């Protein structure tokens, strides 16, 4: 809106200038019978009025990058993510599962951070530095998978629920039942029944994760489904799929991205939780959850506290970054905030 006003103002100024100039000329040519001359038709003038260089994504990005806190966390997260994936390719990295032995054949356990082991070693002599990055990879994989499932299933169910009137009753009842089951409970139950592993956790979290997204999309679609522009599209014979993808979903892009961004720290937190109560990932698969869990049991010994502090710090950086980026992006993607 603001942009439009600006263009209109600029146009108005030009017009005033031209008028003033015309008037001057009219004063000079006072003899003329007509005080106002015919402007005639100029194609460039005619086109200028209807033109705006507004682009949704450019405006979104501009609004996002104006938020300095968000940019800082974006950079921080970008570096962390990049490092997580290139870390195994760097020289002199150790295997996260390899137990290191000293010269007497004894395992180098609980070595405090030094030149050789940057973050020290754990109680059986594995390198904590490489375990933390391997764990971050596992946790991020869980987070991203859950977010993708949530987006795909949530959007699909939400669109069907909102757009197809016949399915409304079915989905509403399904939602009422599923939403009443506490997510922690389901998580515990599924992890208890199934074999602990990455896929179990992803499955348990995806089982109800899509509900919130589906409900939100359904409510929004019901609100905008029958607006005039959609009615017009329907009357013009636009296929339903096209209406959904071109008219409805772009409207919801900000919330979908925000929910995805928030689902990632949420999933990582849940993984930490199930590992904490003892039904999460086995120690052979390093994850932030079991690193924190082992670190926690050593918390009482001040010398070994580094085993808790390092994974907690990495976890905090990742979750806070995702949270702040998700929220700022949602704000930036709202066209109401594109006003300068």
Site residues, another protein (CB under 8 A): 172, 176-177, 180-182, 184-185, 188-189, 192-193, 219, 222, 265, 268-269, 272-273, 276-279, 292, 296, 299-300, 308, 312, 315-316, 319-320, 322-324
Q: How far is the CB of 292 from another protein (least distance, A)?
A: 6
Q: How far is the CB of 259 from another protein (least distance, A)?
A: 14
Q: Give me the half-sphere count of Cα atoms (radius 13 Å) on the Cβ side of residue 44.
A: 0
State the residue for tokens 């146009």. Answer: 11
Cα 77 to chain centroid distance, Å, stands at 12
Q: Among residues 35 and 189, whose Cβ is nearest to another protein?
A: 189
Q: Tell me the C-alpha distance between 263 and 210, whole Å.
A: 10
Q: Among residues 269 and 335, whose Cβ is nearest to another protein?
A: 269
Q: How far is the CB of 60 from another protein (least distance, A)?
A: 22
State the residue for tokens 């029944």. Answer: 193
Take residue 224 and report the two structure tokens written for it: 């905008």
Exposed/middle/buried for 63, CB within 10 Å: 0-12, 13-18, 19+? buried
277 with 287: CB under 8 angstroms? no
Q: Tell me the C-alpha distance between 157 and 215, whole Å.
A: 9
Q: Among residues 125 and 212, whose Cβ is nearest to another protein?
A: 212
Q: How far is the CB of 294 from another protein (least distance, A)?
A: 13
State the residue for tokens 């961004």. Answer: 261
Q: Among residues 264 and 333, whose Cβ is nearest to another protein?
A: 264
Q: How far is the CB of 302 from another protein (least distance, A)?
A: 8
Neighbouring residues of 7: CB distance < 8 A, sequence distance ≥ 6: 51, 52
Q: How far is the CB of 181 from another protein (least distance, A)?
A: 6
């Amino acid at each position: 809106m603001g942009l439009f006003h600006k263009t209109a103002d600029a146009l108005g100024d030009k017009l005033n200038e031209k008028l003033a100039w015309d008037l001057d000329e009219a004063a000079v040519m006072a003899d003329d019978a007509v005080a106002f001359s015919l402007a005639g038709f100029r194609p460039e003038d005619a086109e200028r009025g209807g033109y705006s260089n507004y682009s949704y994504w450019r405006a979104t990005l501009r609004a996002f990058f104006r938020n300095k806190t968000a940019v800082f966390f974006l950079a921080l997260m970008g570096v962390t993510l990049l490092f997580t994936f290139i870390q195994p390719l760097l020289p002199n990295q150790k295997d996260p599962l390899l137990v290191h032995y000293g010269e007497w054949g004894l395992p180098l356990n609980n070595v405090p951070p030094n030149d050789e082991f940057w973050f020290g070693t754990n109680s059986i002599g594995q390198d904590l530095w490489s375990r933390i990055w391997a764990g971050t990879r596992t946790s991020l994989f869980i987070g991203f998978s859950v977010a993708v499932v949530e987006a795909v299933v949530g959007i699909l169910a939400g669109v069907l629920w909102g757009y197809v009137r016949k399915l409304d009753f079915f989905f509403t009842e399904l939602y009422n039942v599923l939403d009443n089951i506490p997510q922690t409970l389901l998580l515990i139950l599924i992890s208890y029944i199934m074999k602990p592993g990455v896929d179990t956790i992803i499955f348990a979290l995806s089982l109800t994760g899509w509900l919130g997204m589906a409900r939100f999309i359904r409510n929004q679609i019901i609100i905008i489904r029958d607006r005039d522009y959609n009615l017009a599209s329907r009357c013009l014979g636009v296929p339903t799929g096209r209406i959904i993808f071109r008219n409805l979903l772009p409207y919801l892009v900000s919330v979908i991205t925000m929910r995805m961004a928030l689902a990632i720290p949420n999933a990582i937190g849940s993984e930490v939780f199930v590992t904490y109560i003892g039904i999460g990932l086995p120690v052979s698969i390093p994850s932030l959850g079991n690193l924190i869990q082992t670190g926690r049991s050593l918390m009482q010994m001040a010398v070994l506290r580094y085993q808790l502090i390092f994974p907690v710090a990495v976890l905090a950086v990742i979750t806070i970054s995702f949270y702040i980026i998700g929220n700022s992006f949602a704000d930036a993607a709202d066209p109401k905030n594109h006003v300068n």
